[in-house]
């Protein structure tokens, strides 16, 4: 999330400035471009040289520095910033920002930037709880600045109380989460715009092939993956048809729901809806075989052995691959216990798919009847995208995002 983000770190004169060195290091390691501005006070605690080495950039210590890299304009960093972080923020800088002063490089940058500003106060607890400081923090919050509250504990001045700067890891997580949430929001909005009004068909859960009136051949699919995909599409404004084998899940409100039992029933409904569908995602675990002679009555257990002859079921997805018209997108799933990529790639080609979602169902917390899944997305162009373990609901959005790129 932080790759290539320009983070401006303002360091003011507090003992906690040493923690900011670690923060800069973490940010840089995560791919961010970090530029440090130090107030005069800050230079009494940590040297400019330390921040220069850790950030990999010259450090700005004065309005009148001639730092060639920033083309010297005193608002260059303000314009460059994706975020300005002031850590530690002393009572003094809070007061200056609250009244809008611009008497050094840091306050000037804060005043000139349009980027979000994160303030991390750290000071003696009496100074922190003083109504003047609290009022200043309130003013900054009202203006939309982000404030990461200090922790309580032993303070450098020998007292204990609120005022400790949070550890570098906590500040880093706050920044990373901020960008992650922003990105997610942006992605969802883009997806919403693209999926709105599209006709999509999703299949979910396992089919059941009857043996007699009370028994069937089935599988462990719960429907969680397919229902999550259907729900995400409904939320993004698509017209969704969900064709599902038996499942205990509640179908998403707003989807046209067609419950089915067997593979042949599923096939019939899928083929009926396919001609005017933009995207099909087949997450269902369809039974590959059905019993040739389904017993009319419950089979009695008189014999030591029972032989069932199975006939091959139609491969619904393969049929869709043959019927597919230009502009229609076909996405399949591959549930494998071995040779995941090889088998998934084979299905992608054989069934004429645009994308296949490969899940290794032997992995813990992945595959059948789990809330999470571990998947690889294989594209027609030979691309393979490996995603980390995630909830099926989150994965549903990512799958739709990738599908929309194909449309």
Annotated catalytic residue, options 95, 139, 157, 404: 157
Q: What angle do CA 88, 91, 93 make, to 5 degrees?
A: 70
Report the nearest approach of ligand PMT to the CB of residue 300 (Å).
31
Residue 395 makes contact with ligand PMT by CB under 6 A: no
DSSP state of 324: P
Residue 172 makes contact with ligand PMT by CB under 6 A: no
Residue 251 makes contact with ligand PMT by CB under 6 A: no
Residue 244 makes contact with ligand PMT by CB under 6 A: no
Binder among 35, 198, 208, 282 for ligand PMT (CB under 6 A): 282
Contacts 24+ apart (CB under 8 A), 97-105: 97/136, 97/140, 97/145, 98/135, 98/136, 98/139, 98/140, 104/39, 104/40, 104/62, 104/63, 105/37, 105/60, 105/61, 105/62, 105/63, 105/65, 105/74, 105/77
Binder among 17, 279, 334, 340 for ligand PMT (CB under 6 A): 334
Q: What is the Cα–Cα distance from 25 to 54, expressed in whole angstroms?
A: 6
Residue of 381, 382, 378, 379 whose CA lies nearest to 360: 378
Residue of 73, 87, 79, 72 whose CA lies nearest to 36: 87
Residue 230 makes contact with ligand PMT by CB under 6 A: no
Stretch that binds ligand PMT, among 45-53, 123-131, 163-171, 217-225 (CB under 6 A): 217-225
Residue 368 makes contact with ligand PMT by CB under 6 A: yes
Binder among 221, 244, 262, 277 for ligand PMT (CB under 6 A): 221
Report the nearest approach of ligand PMT to the CB of residue 205 (Å).
6
Cβ neighbours around 130 below 10 Å, total: 14
CB nearer ligand PMT, residue 24 or residue 285? 285
Q: What angle do CA 284, 337, 340 make, to 5 degrees?
A: 85
CB nearer ligand PMT, residue 78 or residue 330? 330
Interface residues with ligand PMT (CB under 6 A) are: 205, 221-226, 263, 282-286, 288, 313, 315-317, 332-335, 347, 359, 361, 367-369
- Residues serving a catalytic function are 157
């Amino acid at each position: 999330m932080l790759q290539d983000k320009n983070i401006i770190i303002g360091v003011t004169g507090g003992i906690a400035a040493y923690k900011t060195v670690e923060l800069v290091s973490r940010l840089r390691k995560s791919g961010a471009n970090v530029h440090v501005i130090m107030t005069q006070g800050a230079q009494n605690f940590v040297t400019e040289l330390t921040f220069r080495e850790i950030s990999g950039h010259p450090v700005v210590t004065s309005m009148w520095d001639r730092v060639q890299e920033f083309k010297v304009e005193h608002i260059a960093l303000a314009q460059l910033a994706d975020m300005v972080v002031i850590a530690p923020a002393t009572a003094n800088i809070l007061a200056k920002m609250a009244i809008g002063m611009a008497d050094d490089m840091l306050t000037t940058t804060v005043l000139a930037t349009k980027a979000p500003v994160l303030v991390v106060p750290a000071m003696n607890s009496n100074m922190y709880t003083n109504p003047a400081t609290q009022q200043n923090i309130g003013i900054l919050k009202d203006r939309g600045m982000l404030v990461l509250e200090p922790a309580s504990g032993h303070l450098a001045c020998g007292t204990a109380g609120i005022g400790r700067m949070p550890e570098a890891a906590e500040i880093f997580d706050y920044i990373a989460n901020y960008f992650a949430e922003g990105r997610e929001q942006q992605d969802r909005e883009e997806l919403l715009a693209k999926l709105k009004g599209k006709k999509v068909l999703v299949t979910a859960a396992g089919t059941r092939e009857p043996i007699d009136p009370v028994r069937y051949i089935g599988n462990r699919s719960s429907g969680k993956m397919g229902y999550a995909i259907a729900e995400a599409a409904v939320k993004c404004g698509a017209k969704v048809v969900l064709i599902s084998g038996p499942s205990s899940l509640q179908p998403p409100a707003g989807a046209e729901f067609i419950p089915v039992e067997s593979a042949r029933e599923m096939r019939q409904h899928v083929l009926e809806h396919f001609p005017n569908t933009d995207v099909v995602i087949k997450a269902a675990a369809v039974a590959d075989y059905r019993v040739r002679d389904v017993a009319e009555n419950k089979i009695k257990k008189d014999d030591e052995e029972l032989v069932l002859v199975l006939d091959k079921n139609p491969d619904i997805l393969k049929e869709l691959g043959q019927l597919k018209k230009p502009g229609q997108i076909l996405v399949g799933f591959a549930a494998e216990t071995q040779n995941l990529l090889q088998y998934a790639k084979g299905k992608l080609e054989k069934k004429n798919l645009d994308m296949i979602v490969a899940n290794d169902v032997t992995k813990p917390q992945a595959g059948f009847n789990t809330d999470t899944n571990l998947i690889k997305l294989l594209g027609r162009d030979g691309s393979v995208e490996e995603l980390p373990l995630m909830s099926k609901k989150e994965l549903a959005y990512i799958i739709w995002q990738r599908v929309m790129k194909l449309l």
